[in-house]
């Protein structure tokens, strides 16, 4: 009897492990294509690099954006980060005056900005079968909207 329970438990564990491996390696659901800007007052910047490792804990799911210096003054813009496939907006992240970080090197007249996504959101992408989309930098967008004065 206990041997049967042990075999059943091992089988369930193998199925769960196989499912997680399949979800993690599932390819993106959409291609990255050029999208036309919607509004003159809306400016978008795509991620230069993303790190998606939610199994390492908090702060291991983020995008690094190379942002033109003209957007340095946050008080002039409302800044949010979006990920295609998700229906949420995230905080813009932390601006860095460094010219490099995490294998990303800012070009002249640019600075780096790192935008984090909560681990629970990354796990939602995994369960929803959108993990491949989360790992593609072209799906991460930093949106600058000019504020009315």
| Number of helices (H), then strands (E), in the chain | 3, 9
pLDDT by residue (tens digit) across 17-40? Answer: 666 666 666 666 666 765 545 555
**What does the radius of gyration of the chain's CA atoms come to, in whole angstroms?**
19
Q: What is the mean pLDDT of residues 46-58?
A: 89
Q: Which of 40-49, 92-101, 129-138, 140-149 has the lowest mean pLDDT?
A: 92-101
- Helix residue ranges per DSSP H, 26-134: 119-127, 131-134
**Which has more confidence, 80 or 94?**
80
113-138 pLDDT, tens digit each: 888 888 888 888 888 888 888 999 99
d(CA 10, CA 108): 55
pLDDT at 74: 62
Spatial distance between the Cα atoms of 102 and 37, rounded to a whole number of angstroms: 29
Q: What is the reported pLDDT for 50? A: 92
Residue 16 pLDDT exceeds 70: no
Average pLDDT over residues 61-69: 89
pLDDT for position 36: 47
Instruction: State the average pLDDT over residues 1-18.
Output: 73
């Amino acid at each position: 009897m206990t041997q049967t329970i042990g075999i059943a438990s091992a089988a369930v564990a193998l199925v769960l492990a196989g499912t997680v491996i399949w979800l993690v390696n599932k390819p993106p659901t959409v291609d990255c294509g050029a999208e036309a800007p919607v509004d003159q007052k809306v400016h978008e910047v795509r991620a230069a690099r993303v790190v998606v490792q939610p199994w390492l804990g908090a702060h291991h799911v983020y995008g690094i954006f190379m942002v033109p210096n003209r957007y340095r003054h946050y008080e002039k813009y409302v800044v949010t980060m979006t990920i295609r496939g998700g229906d949420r907006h995230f905080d813009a992240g932390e601006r860095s005056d460094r010219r490099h970080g995490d294998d990303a090197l800012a070009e002249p007249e640019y600075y780096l900005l790192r935008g984090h996504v909560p681990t629970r959101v990354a796990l939602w992408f995994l369960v929803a079968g959108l993990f491949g989309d989360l790992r593609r930098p072209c799906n991460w967008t930093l949106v600058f909207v000019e504020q009315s004065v």
